[in-house]
């Protein structure tokens, strides 16, 4: 992180787009889609690569992307598999649990995903999650795309039982320059329980083992850590005026961290800004905000800072 990319290039975002089905309705989501959405809001014009069904939900995704100004060239349409859906249940604290359905369109991202990437001039990084790599077809496409691009990788670890394999997650971490995961996921990857005091050291051990420049560790209401070869930063989120739910908070955090990498922001500044934007997303239902004023407000604050 000490060597910021300082790039105006378009990041490439690979992975799922789906609908989070809440008891009171559906909200568009999927970690990679959420990250791409936020980066678009911040003016980065990412290329999002995914796959949707030839159905009403898929059509709505395309229309929503068009209204937001997102490039749709990387979104494939599947005649056999449906647009992704996840059943979401919230507890009293707004924490979600996810029931993820199998054999969704995003599981079958085809090898011709490389074609639209060829039109992107010198992408500065490739962002990828872990859910879309659960199926062999998308996993093979992702690996081929990673090798073809040859650019730094930001991997966002989202462990959704039973849809992950330790070997695939560890291989993804070893291919990455930057990685993000939460405290529970770190304990799973470390294969041992961790107390809050042990988290930074465990993060450092994982960072060293995988050769990462930066390991981002989020710890819910306790904030987050940046663990780097040159040191560690810790930040706490600002007070919340209203808590709607925490769905997508980590994705909002990832998007601003990527923005900081591309802009060459100092680590502590990037961490604090990531926490602030994630807190704002917790104040609304769902993971995305079709509200340009929200992004403009944060950009104005950051340009002044």
- Output the pLDDT for position 180: 98
End-to-end CA distance of the chain: 19
- 65 neighbors 186 (Cβ within 8 angstroms): no
Q: Is the pLDDT of residue 3 over 60?
A: no
- Output the pLDDT for position 65: 98
- Output the pLDDT for position 118: 73
Q: Is the pLDDT of residue 95 over 80?
A: no
**Beta-strand relationship, 84-90 and 18-22:** parallel
Query: Domains in the chain, start-ordered, CATH in brackets?
Result: 12-304 (3.40.1190.20)
pLDDT digits (tens, 9 = 90+) for 29-49: 999 999 999 999 999 999 999
Tokens 């604090």 — which residue? Answer: 272
- Output the pLDDT for position 230: 85
Mean pLDDT of 155-163: 90
Entry pTM: 0.94
Name the more confident of 81 and 114: 81
Rounded CA separation 40/300 (Å) = 16
- Output the pLDDT for position 87: 85
Rounded CA separation 2/66 (Å) = 36
Q: Is the pLDDT of residue 128 over 80?
A: yes
Write down the mean pLDDT value for the chain: 92
**Which residues, other chains included, contact 156 with Cβ-Cβ below 8 Å and sequence gap of 6+?**
31, 32, 35, 127, 128, 129, 130, 179, 180, 181, 250, 251, 254
Residue 262 pLDDT class (50, 70, 90 cuts):
very high
Mean pLDDT of 232-259: 91
Rounded CA separation 169/159 (Å) = 9
Mean pLDDT of 92-99: 74
CA 13 vs CA 73, 117, 146, 281, 305: distances in Å: 12, 10, 11, 20, 28
Tokens 């996840």 — which residue? Answer: 86
Residue 119 pLDDT class (50, 70, 90 cuts):
confident
Rounded CA separation 243/238 (Å) = 12
Looking at the chain, the whole-number percentage of residues with pLDDT higher than 90 is 73
Mean pLDDT of 212-238: 96
CA 204 vs CA 127, 213, 246, 280: distances in Å: 21, 11, 26, 29
- Output the pLDDT for position 235: 98
- Output the pLDDT for position 246: 82
Residue 94 pLDDT class (50, 70, 90 cuts):
low
Mean pLDDT of 276-290: 87
pLDDT digits (tens, 9 = 90+) for 96-110: 777 889 999 999 999
pLDDT digits (tens, 9 = 90+) for 136-155: 999 999 999 999 999 999 99
- Output the pLDDT for position 2: 41
Nearest in space to 38 (alpha carbons), one of 180, 251, 238 = 251
As a dihedral over the C-alpha atoms of residue 241, residue 243, residue 247, residue 250, rounded to 10 degrees, the angle is: 40
DSSP assignment string, 281-295 = HHTSSSS----HHHH
Nearest in space to 258 (alpha carbons), one of 37, 72, 49 = 37
């Amino acid at each position: 992180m000490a060597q910021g990319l300082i790039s105006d290039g378009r990041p490439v975002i690979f992975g799922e787009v789906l609908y989070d089905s809440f008891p009171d309705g559906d909200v568009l989501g999927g970690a990679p889609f959420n990250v791409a959405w936020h980066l678009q809001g911040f003016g980065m014009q990412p290329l999002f690569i995914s796959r949707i069904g030839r159905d009403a939900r898929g059509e709505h995704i395309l229309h929503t992307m068009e209204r937001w100004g997102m490039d749709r060239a990387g979104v494939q349409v599947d005649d056999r598999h449906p647009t992704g859906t996840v059943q979401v249940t919230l507890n009293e604290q707004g924490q979600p649990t996810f029931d993820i359905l199998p054999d969704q369109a995003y599981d079958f991202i085809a090898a011709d995903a490389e074609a639209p990437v060829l039109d992107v001039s010198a992408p500065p990084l490739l962002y990828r999650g872990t859910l879309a790599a659960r199926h062999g077809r998308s996993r093979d496409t992702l690996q081929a795309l990673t090798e073809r691009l040859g650019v730094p990788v930001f991997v966002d670890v989202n462990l959704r039982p039973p849809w992950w394999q330790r070997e695939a997650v560890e291989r993804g971490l070893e291919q990455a320059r930057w990685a993000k995961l939460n405290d529970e996921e770190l304990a799973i990857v470390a294969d041992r329980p961790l107390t809050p005091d042990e988290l930074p050291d465990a993060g450092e051990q994982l960072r060293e083992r995988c050769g990462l420049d930066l390991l981002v560790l989020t710890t819910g209401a306790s904030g987050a850590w940046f663990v780097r070869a040159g040191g560690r930063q810790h930040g706490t989120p600002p007070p919340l005026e209203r808590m709607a739910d925490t769905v997508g908070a980590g994705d909002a955090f990832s998007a601003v961290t990527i923005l900081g990498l591309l802009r060459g922001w100092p680590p502590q500044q990037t961490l604090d800004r990531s926490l602030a934007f994630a807190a704002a997303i917790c104040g609304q239902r769902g993971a995305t905000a079709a509200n340009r004023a929200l992004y403009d407000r944060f950009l104005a604050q950051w340009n002044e800072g």
